[in-house]
A and B are shown apart, each in its own frame.
Chain A
Amino acid sequence: MSHHGELSPADFLPLEAENQGELITRPSLSYWQDAWRRLKKNVRALISLYLIAALALFTLVGPIAWNVDPTLQDLNQISQAPSLPKLATLVENHIPWTPPVDPALPAIPSEIADQVDPVSAFRLAETASTQAVRLLWDGLSTAGGYNIYRNESKPEGFNDLGLPLISITAGNQIGYEDRLSLKAITYYYSIVPSDGFDEYDQFTSIKVEPVLAISIREAMERNILGPAQDAAIGSAITLEFHPFGTDYLGRDMLARLMEGARVSLFIGIVAPFIYVSIGILYGGFAGYFGNRIDQLLMRFADFVVALPFLLFMILFKIAFGIGPGESGIFPMLLALVLLLWPATARLVRGQVLQIREQGYIEAARILGGKPRYLILRHIIPNTMGVILVTLTFAVPSAIFTEAFLSFIGMGVAPPTPSWGSMCNEGVKTMLSHPHELFFPALFISITVLAFNLLGDGLTEALDARMRSRE
């Protein structure tokens, strides 16, 4: 047996008993340590944890860092898309303008002409600003009035003159002041002469680009005026910064999102916490005592489960009513708790029934374990995993419910913002100002995503643990 190599007699001395067979080479971990270790290895779960931490920061620290009143309206920047801070020209306080009248012309022409010339010299009276656009034109002796339109694109024909601003019924009026929610964009103003009632088929257009302007009074009211010596008329001052833009009432989106986060996350976290707790007590009670009590309690839970959830959410919302000035957060919380506890109760009861039959409970009982000890030491720790997963998945569903109800106008009452009610407002201006829908929807999605991923990660971590123990 040369292939064994050279062996000395010492090789054949007996081996000391080291009891290596019993040696466990890998470190032993507790249930939660192991679950935590697995969770940390799950990249998606880890990302979700960071996301949740970021959301908590946004909600709690955000309002301190971004100290803007979410109810304050910035009328210069209504439905403003996210942008860098804007400069505005400081102008005099607005003084109403009396439109000029050409005394040489009749207010009403003596006879109605079949045809008239187009209006000529359609022009600006002064530099157009977002405070006011003042238009002038040469009057027509044959016209009985003028219709003024405004459009955001160049009109190609009679059909797209745009927004009708006014019907002037005096042929000698030769000016008009437009102050209707002006923005610093390009407008096309068109003028159509009329006989006082019907339009002639002539129109004249001009292109107007108002400059962003703010009056001294507004600037002082909103406290954005710099040092006094700079505050000369015509100087440029910086307007409020809205990193996420503003909504249709000119309120700062970021501040509202933070305020909305408090409402949405409050409902999303507190409601599940309450109803899962109730579910644990109810289900644990039923499961532990079993038999008749269990039958009775669970039959009732079955009924509550069968209630069509969202319909009853709406019903309860009306039933609990919202008084004037209330936000409606509490009725929603109550409705959620009333309708959602049975799911957890069923789950916990099932778990308890299952665990009760396990050998280790029997063993502990035989060794003299009292019910209190059995519940605290064995049943609760062994249901914690499942409960934690339920709780994690309950958060996104509660947030969804809040958003859904607020979206159909059954949720949190304005002016209190929640992400759902912000979506509701945003969807109305979706086509022209998509950011008003985008941001609250994004926040809902990120939150739901984070909790869903965390739930998945937890399930996998705890599941794998269960499986490897079998």
Chain B
Amino acid sequence: MLSYITKRLVAGLITVWFIATATFIAMHLVPGDPLMNQKAVSAEIRLNLERKYGLDKPVVEQYFIFLGNMLTGDFGISYTQQNRKVNDIIKDHFPVSATLGILAIFFATLGGILWGAITAVYKNRLPDIIIMFLVILGISVPSFVFAALGQLLLVNLNQLVGQSVLPVAGWGTFSHMLMPSMVLGLSTMALLTRLMRSSMLDVVNEDYIKTAKAKGLSPLRIFFRHQLRNAILPVITVLGPQIAAITTGGFVVELVFAIPGLGRYFVQAVQQLDYTVIMGTTVFYGSFLVLMVILVDIVYGFIDPRVRLQ
């Protein structure tokens, strides 16, 4: 197990390096240069700025400086916000995005497993048909539409009740988080429901369910002890990649609900061509996702005995 984790971590490190390099190359392909947005720069100021950000050095040297800084966890200083470190920006805004994401994953997993199990039990009957219709809807409607609809719903709800039941936008309390995280988790929930349903139906046809019946176990016991547990396992494996989907889906939700998360900040940085922030955020998110996938695999190993002992 330990050697497995080490192996995964080393591979993850190489992946992070690849992400950083790709980011660096992509950013240097951008036509024009990072200082173009700076207002009315005289040649002298420009030179100073170039020196400050190390842009006067050859590209290869810049690359190694960038890699070196990254190793020490230093992503540099923002171009547009004077003297604000990219690290500080990440530190300030990432926890917000992470909270939103964790809540969304929580809703999605809980809902996905629950709905998936229900649809499998009621296969081809009314509850199954209704839920699967909603699932198809959840997969087919873009997340920003859900975000907009969620907000519209809150506006109408608050109007109906006559007072603010849930805040329409902003961040701070749990009531702020409820609607955005549910909206964010919606498409993942739909996906997990589908997966859980087919997984449940696969397991029902497994020989060991026949064995359990032949042993004279009650249907309830078979459902919980034998079917559900085995059906959940494959669902967990997709959680890693889904975390990535939820993170990026967070951009839209943060924009619509005016949540001060890193996603919204990233979009803003892109619009202002704030190079260091873009590079720092990309590398940070990339590493975070790589780590998440490894983490989910390791957790999965603890849950599934077949993986654990190999």
Contact = CB atoms under 8 A, between A and B. Distances in A.
Given A307-B286, A319-B26, 8 more contacts: A308-B282, A308-B285, A308-B286, A311-B286, A396-B140, A420-B142, A448-B140, A449-B140
Contacts of A136: none
B30 A312 contact: no
19 contacts: A302-B15, A306-B18, A306-B19, A311-B282, A311-B286, A312-B22, A312-B282, A314-B270, A315-B26, A319-B26, A319-B29, A407-B142, A423-B145, A427-B148, A434-B152, A441-B145, A446-B140, A448-B141, A452-B140
Interface string B130-149: 00000011011111110010
A319 to B, nearest CB: 4
B271 interface: yes
Contacts of B281: 311
Interface string B254-273: 01100000000011001101
A112 interface: no
A437 B145 CA distance: 8
Interface string B23-56: 1001101110000000000000000000000000
B252 A409 contact: no
A400 B140 CA distance: 9
Interface of A: 302-303, 306-312, 314-316, 318-321, 396, 400, 403-404, 407-410, 420, 423, 427, 430-431, 434, 437, 441, 444-446, 448-449, 452-453
A312 B137 CA distance: 28
Q: What interface size band does chain B fall in?
A: 35 or more
Contacts of B151: 430
Contacts of A307: 18-19, 22, 286
The 8 closest A-B pairs by CB, nearest first: A449-B140, A310-B248, A319-B29, A303-B18, A448-B140, A315-B26, A441-B145, A306-B15
User: How would you classify the secondary structure of chain B's contact residues: helix, strand, loop or mixed?
Assistant: helix
Nearest to B144: A407
B8 to A, nearest CB: 12
Interface of B: 14-15, 18-19, 22-23, 26-27, 29-31, 136-137, 139-145, 148, 151-152, 155, 244, 247-248, 251-252, 255-256, 266-267, 270-271, 273, 278, 281-282, 285-286, 289-290
A427 B169 CA distance: 15
Contacts of A315: 23, 26-27, 278, 282
Contacts of A445: 137, 140-142, 145
Given A318-B273, A404-B252, A409-B271, A431 B143 contact: no
B89 to A, nearest CB: 15
Do most interface residues of chain A lie in helix, strand or loop, or is the interface mixed?
helix
Contact of A312 (B26, B141, B155, B252): B26
A376 to B, nearest CB: 34
The CB with the most chain B CB atoms within 10 A, among A303, A316, A320, is that of: A303
Contact of B252 (A408, A434, A448, A453): A408
A387 B298 CA distance: 31
Contact of B144 (A311, A318, A410, A427): A427
A452 B29 CA distance: 36
Contacts of A444: 141-142, 145
Contact of B26 (A303, A308, A316, A408): A316
| B14, B22, B137, most chain A CB atoms within 10 A | B22
Contacts of B270: 314, 318, 410
A303 B142 contact: no
